[in-house]
Amino acid sequence: MARLDGKVALITGATGGIGRAASRLFADEGARLTLVDLDESALREVAQSIGEDRASYVSADVTSAEQTQAYVQAAVDRWGGVDVLLANAGIEGSISPIPDYPLDVFDRVMAVNVRGVWLGIKYVVPVMRERGGGSIVITSSTAGIGAGPDMSAYTTSKHAVIGLMRTAAMEGAASGIRVNTVNPAPIETRMMRSIEEMRVAALDDSDITVEQTYRATSARIPLGRYGNPEEVARMMLFLGSDDSSFCTGGVYMVDGGRSAGGR
């Protein structure tokens, strides 16, 4: 039997690299999906690629309480409830030291990456209680357990959702609601291309290229490469399924060994 047969999954950030991979894998494993992102045309494309009998979609800003309530309700109306929330929507922000970091960018990163997750949990928990439990999977990062220069908003946000996860895991346990984070290292996605380009742009050395930055980052990962979105999605599937029935309050690394070396 497929691991998500009979389950309904809500996936935010569904049109990004990891979100798309998770959506397709969850559908392959039997889930019925409600996909959430800002870009309606991209959402439609992902849903159509899966099949409209398996996937619905809602264009929503995850920082809005009203729109969050609406996408949760849309899943209930379409599929009858929610069993899995994959709180995956996130943005990278800017590359600059704290004194130079734009205040509006900091606020936007915190709104999407933290408030958006908090709102998703706030409005999905009552629905999961009605189903007798569920699983909430939050996308954090290796930045959530460490730190580096010039990405203060992103790093802060990814630490914050780990604290949020632990609180939600304690609150949800009595209702059978499990909550965990998945913490990827650099993954082959648009976000990492953006970060590489911003790092190169921030350097005074015009001889440094994006490709050199990519190779240097890969070299700091013990397995010697970036991960693929599908590798992250498989961890998300494990945590969303009953295979992880005794797992809650955990930080699950998908990082090629990067955290083992403290880098």
The structure tokens listed for 225 are: 């490469």
Summarised one tens digit per residue, pLDDT across range 49-91 is 999 899 999 999 999 999 999 999 999 999 999 999 999 999 9
**DSSP labels for 106-173?**
HHHHHIIIIIHHHHHHHHHHHHHHHHT-EEEEEE--GGGTS--TT-HHHHHHHHHHHHHHHHHHHHHG
71 is catalytic: no
The structure tokens listed for 182 are: 């998945």
| Ordered structural domains, the chain, with CATH | 8-186+228-258 (3.40.50.720)
- pLDDT on residue 140: 98
Summarised one tens digit per residue, pLDDT across range 140-150 is 999 999 988 99
Mean model confidence pLDDT for the chain: 95
Residues of the chain scoring pLDDT < 70:
204-206, 262-263
- pLDDT on residue 207: 77
- pLDDT on residue 150: 94
Catalytic residue from among 57, 154, 226, 252: 154
Buried/exposed 113-127: b ≥16 CB within 10 Å, e otherwise: bbbbbbbbbebbbeb
181: Cα separation from own chain's centroid: 9
- pLDDT on residue 157: 98
